[in-house]
């Protein structure tokens, strides 16, 4: 009887030890990413923060916010300020995902005339974006990569003295972006 009791206690403690060890081996996936995207939702480039909001075995939901500024240093001193925002659905397992998403980017553009050309205008673009692409993101963090097709519908509102139309809309079907960064 004593041998049976010792054997039972031994099995109980060993199984409990393995159960605790198994729980320790499952780390929480890394959810935060900082990345730079060329073209895409932010114009020429954008610096972005992305967070996985919901993480399931076969899919994830992520949100993104970014900033962008660029100056063309042309005859009109054209400057752009943008804030790309996006919600993405990631479908896949492991490190490789199909990424689909919808976004919105307010973009503000200023231009000033120089010399004989006297144009002083401001334009507010309200850009609706979509995304279909590939995303590489490891659960344990590290290198991050994404590339995708990002068609855009643009609505523009012009202010100031300009010979161009005040309000107009257009669709950009041939637009894409590529990004790289770090997940932590």
| Alpha-carbon span 2 to 8, nearest angstrom | 10
Confidence at residue 158, expressed as pLDDT on a 0 to 100 scale: 87
Confidence at residue 23, expressed as pLDDT on a 0 to 100 scale: 52
Spatial contact of 139 and 107, defined as CB atoms under 8 Å apart: no
Neighbour-count burial for 110-132, b at 16+ CB within 10 Å, e otherwise: bbbeeeeeeeebebebebebbbe
Confidence at residue 77, expressed as pLDDT on a 0 to 100 scale: 80
Confidence at residue 147, expressed as pLDDT on a 0 to 100 scale: 98
Confidence at residue 73, expressed as pLDDT on a 0 to 100 scale: 77
Confidence at residue 166, expressed as pLDDT on a 0 to 100 scale: 83
Local structure of 181: helix, strand or coil: strand
Averages of pLDDT over each 10 residues, the chain, 184 residues: 57 55 68 97 95 96 97 82 98 96 96 67 93 97 98 91 80 96 98
Local structure of 2: helix, strand or coil: helix
Q: What is the CATH number of domain 29-183?
A: 2.40.160
Task: Parse the chain into domains and list their residue ranges.
Answer: 29-183
């Amino acid at each position: 009887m004593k041998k049976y009791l010792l054997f039972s206690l031994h099995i109980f403690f060993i199984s409990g030890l393995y159960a605790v060890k198994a729980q320790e081996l499952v780390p929480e996936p890394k959810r935060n990413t900082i990345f730079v995207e060329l073209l895409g939702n932010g114009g020429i480039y954008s610096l972005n923060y992305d967070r996985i909001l919901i993480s399931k075995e076969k899919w994830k939901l992520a949100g993104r916010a970014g900033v962008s500024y660029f100056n063309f240093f042309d005859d009109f001193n054209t400057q752009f300020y943008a804030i790309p925002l996006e919600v993405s659905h990631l479908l896949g397992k492991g490190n490789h995902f199909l990424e689909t998403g919808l976004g919105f980017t307010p973009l503000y553009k200023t231009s000033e005339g120089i010399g004989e050309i006297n144009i002083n205008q401001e334009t507010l673009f309200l850009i609706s974006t979509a995304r279909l692409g590939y995303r590489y993101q490891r659960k344990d963090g590290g290198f991050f990569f994404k590339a995708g097709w990002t068609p855009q519908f643009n609505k523009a509102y012009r202010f100031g003295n300009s010979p161009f139309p005040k309000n107009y809309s257009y669709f950009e079907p041939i637009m894409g972006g590529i990004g790289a960064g770090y997940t932590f």
